[in-house]
A = this chain, B = another copy of it.
Amino acid sequence: MSKIPYKTYLSESEMPTKWYNVRADMKNKPAPLLNPGTLQPMTAQELSAVFCDELIKQELDNDTPFIDIPEEICDFYKMYRPSPLVRAYCLEKALDTPAKIYYKFEGNNTSGSHKLNSAIAQAYYAKKQGLKGVTTETGAGQWGTALSMACAYLGLDCKVYMVKVSYEQKPFRREVMRTYGASVTPSPSETTNVGKKILAEHPGTTGSLGCAISEAVEAATTTEGYRYVLGSVLNQVVLHQSIIGLESKLAFDKIGEKPDVIIGCAGGGSNLGGLIAPFMGEKLRGEADYRIVAVEPASCPSFTRGKFAYDFCDTGMVCPLAKMYTLGSGFIPSPNHAGGLRYHGMSSILSQLYHDGLMEAASVDQTSVFAAAQQFARVEGILPAPESSHAIRVAIDEALKCKETGEEKTIFFGLTGTGYFDMVAYQKYNDGEMSDYIPTDEDLAVGFAGLPKVDK
């Protein structure tokens, strides 16, 4: 048999034309979003002030296993997809491991990450509904960049509320979005009532994701022809991101391989949910078994130390409640945390799967994450995003275990993106100035104390 190539690409005709909805195969469905006022499940009509109609359908659909990808989205995907399934020959050699290591690389597009897979879908449905534009928030900027790209392509307005501290510290991310025609507003701002209120109460604030969400939602609901879009956590996002796992599965089939362990980083769950979707589907249907590992920062440990409970999706508490593993919407990771994945909660789908014992979770310290990132960059030639590097850390650790045991496991991880706009964090690491932080139980208690009382 000929050697497995470094990179396996599907041909364009082999690319998936349907997203896979893992909820259809889940025995225990993810819990519904609740109206924060009535504590009753959100109806499509209640959601329609905020979200596009077709996306609401996808959000609420727990039954349809496959959903057609519209042709226009398939065409857009062809601009930057299929992404390669890479055999990490050089990393294997450097680790001297008998394990076979594969990764799916989603960073070869200008947004720098997998976020574009859902951004184009959400922008497409907004355009199709005849809307004028969309609003969103962005922290590190990957989602904002992806949405700006999608909107530029479709001729849709894009208003991004960017956490003020990021706006000031990451001017280059901001300029990429502006190059794609988005308007980028530092949050909190004077352009919304909630922004004005926060500025009046905390004049010197550098903002937070929670505040930016509140501003983006207000802007969407008070501007004719706009809706709000979100890059993670939601069911619809996991649906769109299933393209990652579907392509991976087809590529593995093509080379006649099958992963034993599947590893992905987890912040809100957009990447991990998409990466594992079809593999989890096989597991749920009893057709195959895989070990699946979610990796999160020790400084923001939703899965490993959070509670499975209904909570607000945003710190401003304007959004519906979701049942998920959460640290409480008031939890904010330590300022020394540079490695992304700062969200206090987790996708309801992944939370349910984890709760049902269908996947594991691990937490890792950020200095060990950057050590893995550097090692990976030097042998595999890709500078990984800090987020992605959480998965690299655990993949390397698994491969080193195989070295000890002699097992020839097939390890597969998601490499979600590149770190070109994260060099401040790399610099800290290069200068030996990066530290670790593990919240104490007392630290976590503060977030838990703010959990809403919901009897479900």
Residue A228 interfacial (CB < 8 Å): no
Residue A6 interfacial (CB < 8 Å): yes
Check if A179 sits within 8 Å of B383, measured CB to CB.
yes
Check if B78 sits within 8 Å of A109, measured CB to CB.
no
Residue A423 interfacial (CB < 8 Å): yes
Closest to A383 in B: B110
Residue A382 interfacial (CB < 8 Å): yes
A-B contact pairs, 7 of them (CB 8 A): A5-B78, A6-B12, A7-B12, A76-B381, A79-B90, A90-B153, A175-B427
Residue A430 interfacial (CB < 8 Å): yes
The B-contacting residues of A in range 74-117, CB under 8 angstroms, are 75-76, 78-80, 89-90, 108-110, 112, 116
Which DSSP category, helix, strand, loop or mixed, fits chain A's interface?
helix
Check if A381 sits within 8 Å of B109, measured CB to CB.
yes
Residue A66 interfacial (CB < 8 Å): no
Check if A378 sits within 8 Å of B181, measured CB to CB.
yes
A→B interface (CB under 8 Å): 2, 5-7, 9, 11-13, 75-76, 78-80, 89-90, 108-110, 112, 116, 149, 152-153, 171-172, 175-176, 178-181, 374, 377-383, 418, 420-421, 423-424, 426-427, 430
Number of copies of chain A assembled together = 2
Partner of A426, one of B12, B149, B179, B382: B179
Check if A423 sits within 8 Å of B181, measured CB to CB.
no
Partner of A378, one of B13, B80, B180, B382: B180
Q: Which chain B positions have C-beta within 8 A of A153?
A: 90, 378-379, 381
Given A110-B418, A175-B423, A418-B110; A381-B430 close (CB under 8 Å): no
Give chain B nearest CB distance to A428 CB in angstroms: 10
Q: How far is the CA of A111 from the CA of B372 in the complex (A)?
A: 19
Q: Which chain B positions have C-beta within 8 A of A76?
A: 381
Q: How far is the CA of A196 from the CA of B85 in the complex (A)?
A: 50
Partner of A180, one of B6, B7, B89, B377: B377
